[in-house]
Chains A and B, each alone.
Chain A
Amino acid sequence: MSNVIQQVKGKVVALEGDYAIAEALRQINPDVMAAYPITPQTEIVQKFSEFYAEGVVDTEFVPVESEHAALSTCVGASAAGARAMTATCGAGLALMWEILWCASGLRLPIVMAVVNRSLSAPLNILTDQTDEMATRDAGWVQLYAESHQEAYDNIIQAVRIAEHPDVMLPTMCGMAGFVLGHALGQLELLPDEAVRKFVHIYHPHYSLLDTDCPVTFGAFDHWDYFFPHKRQQWEGLNNALRVIPEIGEEFGRLTGRYYGLVEPYMLDDAEVAIVIIGSAAGATRVAIDEMRAEGIKVGMLKVRCYRPFPADAIAEALQGRKAVAVLDRTSCMGGEGSPLFTEICSALYNRNIAMKIISYTYGLGGYDTIPEEFCQVYRNLLQIAQGGKIEPIHRFLSLPERGES
């Protein structure tokens, strides 16, 4: 077989999450990096600018005047055929809003690290996923990391996902600000050569600079073309449901670390389950280990890919559970529950899977959640599974219900 991938041995290091991302960017060695610093993403830009100053990357580093300009620069560079990357968080991502849609609508495979931070007001710099989840409908692929290792691994895989000919869409990779970004953790860095081989040289199908094949990017679309183009874009995003596990499998053969759309933990025989995204999955694992030690069958489904929404994978994993709590770390509000919850309800309903399901908002603005609080969610779920009261459907973890002390 010619396509056998030899597993490589990396180097185990101690790094803050932001620096781990910066190392991934250095190894990918993109053609263009345009970024504006914002807490808690600053260290990524700072470290990458050091790499640039020391000449260890070939990148054109563009220190722009705003996040709007950062993503606009990436759009221009990507349309010109460059591999373009950026990083931001919170208010910076919000300022990119207009250009997020340009990047996806132009089918530009830009990769962006998002160091998840709350959106003001009240003013807060700490982590939740409001920034990224609020961009849900912008047509980007969205991955989230639980750990330092996943944050690093996701960035490398994102390049391949974004540039896959069946996808050709920008991809953002979420990582908890401070909790991972500023915490010193352990991860294995791949050899530079292995990363460069994995992401290989980017050969764009269309480029503004290809004078033999002149093309236009960003032309006006009348109604006759706009709607069909949007449909194609939709199909490209849905193709990522197939491509993400394929890339995750190939990455696994290289590293021993395999990735899919979702990751179950102790779910097969679980009566009740938590569905969660990001770093708090770790505390959920600890809660599960504690309860399993007492013989209580609880489990977790971690969602790695939020866009495109892996409805089949989630429904299949949750089928057979008696009660499920979906935990959202976002203040995207006004729905019956939080965004992941409502979408999972839809996925289950459309597949005729009936179960008791409740929504929790947790951890906003860096509010810390400890394993005991996840244990309490499981205890509530077990009561609901045995016929207990399901209301209120939407709850706030760690905060008392109104009317209770």
Chain B
Amino acid sequence: MGKETLEIRWHGRGGQGAVTASKMLAETALEEGKYFLGNPDYGAERMGAPIQAYTRISIHPIKLYCQITEPDVVLVLDSTLLDTVDVLEGLKEDGIVILNIPLPPAEARPKLSNYKGKLYTIDASGIAMDILGRNLPNVPMLGAVTKVTGVVSRNSMASVIRSRLGATMKEKVVEGNVTAFEKAYDNVLTE
């Protein structure tokens, strides 16, 4: 998006990997010589409860440790959140929304009442189910946000997915995640 500082807010449910993804994106900024902070909003989270996480990436050192109240980018990992969470709260006028939903943006837009800004969609859950056999939309969402914002490069992001997940997961699962990332990168839908 060409901004000096990009503030990204993640909306997901406990267990979908939003916190992990928010930190992987932040870590990728290090590879590209940028400054970053990946800070989850911890509370009494449990599996399935709505959660938020934040990623700041900047060409300047980051001093702010507070939550992101006026994001440039909102990522929604679970479209059922749209009924209960105001994901658009504070979104900048030139901000964008990336929504995990198996619909093109024009058909998804009515779910975001009165939203006039840029909307991208990606079937992140479908990609995860196809490749990983589980509804883990976080890594596909990394593909979408990498493609749409260009805040980090495709190669750096894939490399961090490999190293971060590779620390604890089997190679087959790690490669599955990289494949899911690449597929999402290539299949983001715009209006």
Contacts and interface: CB of A to CB of B under 8 A. Distances in A.
Interface string B31-43: 0000111111011
A182 B65 CA distance: 11
Given A14-B30, A282-B63, A184 B69 contact: no
Interface string A38-77: 0010000000000000000000000000000000000000
A12 B32 CA distance: 12
Contact of B67 (A176, A282, A368): A368
Interface in B57-83: 62-67, 69
A14 B65 contact: no
A107 to B, nearest CB: 36
* Size category, A interface: 20 to 34
A238 B65 CA distance: 32
Output the residue of A40, A176, A182, A280 with the most chain B CB within 10 A: A182
Interface string B18-40: 00000100110010000111111
Interface string B81-92: 000000000000
A370 B39 CA distance: 15
Contacts of A126: 42-43
A14 B36 contact: yes
Contacts of A13: 30
B26 A179 contact: no
Contacts of A40: 42
Nearest to B31: A14
Given A178-B42, A184-B27, A282 B36 contact: no
Contacts of A279: 65
Given A12-B30, A14-B27, A186-B30, A283 B66 contact: yes
Nearest to B67: A368
Interface in A272-324: 279-280, 282-283, 285-286
Given A126-B42, A178-B42, A184 B65 contact: no
Interface string A160-178: 0000000000000000101
A176 B67 CA distance: 14
B16 to A, nearest CB: 18
B36 A186 contact: yes
Given A14-B30, A179-B39, A184 B23 contact: yes
A285 B63 CA distance: 7
Contacts of B67: 368, 370
Nearest to A281: B63
A369 interface: yes
A282 B65 contact: yes
Nearest to B26: A184
Contacts of A180: 65
A400 B67 CA distance: 21
Output the residue of A40, A126, A176, A185 with the most chain B CB within 10 A: A185
A371 B5 CA distance: 16
Given A186-B35, A186-B36, A286 B42 contact: no
B52 to A, nearest CB: 11
A283 B65 contact: yes
14 contacts: A14-B27, A178-B42, A179-B66, A182-B39, A183-B38, A183-B39, A184-B27, A184-B36, A184-B38, A280-B65, A282-B65, A283-B64, A283-B65, A286-B63
Closest CB pairs A-B (n = 7):
A183-B39, A184-B38, A282-B63, A184-B23, A14-B27, A14-B30, A279-B65
Interface of B: 23, 26-27, 30, 35-40, 42-43, 62-67, 69
Given A178-B42, A179-B66, 14 more contacts: A14-B23, A40-B42, A125-B42, A126-B43, A178-B39, A178-B40, A180-B65, A182-B39, A183-B37, A185-B62, A186-B35, A186-B62, A282-B63, A283-B63
